[in-house]
Structure 1
Amino acid sequence: MKAFRGAMHRQISFSELSSLVGQELGCSEWVEITQADVDKFADATGDNEWIHVDVPRAKRTFGAPVAHGYLTLALLPMLSQSMIEIAGMRNGLNYGLDRCRFTNIVHVGQRVRLRQKIVSVTPKREGLLVVKDVSFEIENEPRPALVAEVIFLLFPESGGRDAGRVNQ
């Protein structure tokens, strides 16, 4: 897959994040999942199960090789950053996931895109704890590839020296 480097869909300021609670941020651009992407992910993670990397066998059984669910999830940072830019943010930390479910198979050659909605924004550790509902849609499929609640801890440029430390 090629990293999406198009124009941001939306730019907001760090101080405006709370005003977006309950709002959908829209969708990212479509990204095609290639066999090369799947092979690289298999090499990086050691998950070389045949459904991912044995193309002839996977074609016979599934119609095409199956992308790793975690590969789809790993697209989250790239696609999220392509959708929204937060001005005045120094850095952000991945704080975790709740209710992550892989609800459909993504085959090699299919395209996926991210849809996200801000659920809550709460002050925490000199920053903001931002919870988003996300789904990865598969082009021309009624069910998404995955749905999850993702949590990020974001810090403003003006935060204290240790604002990015997780173990405060």
Structure 2
Amino acid sequence: MRTFSDATALAAAAGEHLGHSAWHSVTQDRIDRFAAATGDHQWIHVDAERAAQGPFGGTIAHGFLSLSMLPLFGAEVYTLETPPAMGINYGLDKVRFLQPVREGARVRDGVELVAAKETPKGLLFTMRHTVEIDGGERPALVADALVLLVP
């Protein structure tokens, strides 16, 4: 984990790769709980028997499940010794789901600080997340997340 003294020190790392999260297993239980939380019960996610006959040979995680893990991953990649008063998920730019995550796969995130910009409300960071699949040739997703740190 990379440690920065504060948001200003983090901003000075713009253009750098900050590191990787730990590997996390995407279990059927996690997929099912996400389906229950979102109401997305499509068979490719929750019906193991039918999905075994489908295009992926088994169930796959929702793309939005992988995307929802970004805060978990980010917390494993970097920290601030002096945290801001508030951190806000400000939005996403250019999200691409490149490869399905099969049930039982392990994923991790590589985080690059693309840009840091001072705004009247605080520092706005653009973090590029590349979620890798253990043993996969292509990432599961690439997304630019916008995070506003309010002093």
TM-score relative to the length of structure 1 = 0.85
Count of residue pairs the alignment pairs up: 148
Tell me by how many angstroms 1:17 deviates.
1.6
Alignment gaps of 5+ in structure 1 = 1-8, 157-168
Q: Equivalent residue for 2:118?
A: 123
Q: Equivalent residue for 1:32?
A: 25
Q: Equivalent residue for 1:49?
A: 42
Q: Give percent identity, aligned residues only.
A: 41
Aligned residues: CA RMSD: 1.0
For 1:117-163, what per-residue CA distance to the aligned partner results, in whole angstroms no more than 9, with x for missing partners?
0011111134100011111000000100000111010023xxxxxxx
Distance in 1 (alpha carbons) for counterparts of 2:60 and 2:40: 12
For 1:40-85, what per-residue CA distance to the aligned partner results, in whole angstroms no more than 9, with x for missing partners?
0001100000000000111122222010000000000011011111
Structure 1: 4+ residue segments shifted above 3 A = none
Distance in 1 (alpha carbons) for counterparts of 2:114 and 2:80: 17
Code of the residue aligned with 1:115 in structure 2: it is G
Equivalent of residue 72 in structure 1, options 66, 71, 89: 66
Code of the residue aligned with 1:93 in structure 2: it is I
Residue 154 of structure 1 pairs with residue 135 of structure 2? no
Distance in 2 (alpha carbons) for counterparts of 1:150 and 1:73: 10
SS of the aligned residue for 1:109 comes to coil
Tell me by how many angstroms 1:91 deviates.
1.7
Residue 11 of structure 1 pairs with residue 3 of structure 2? yes
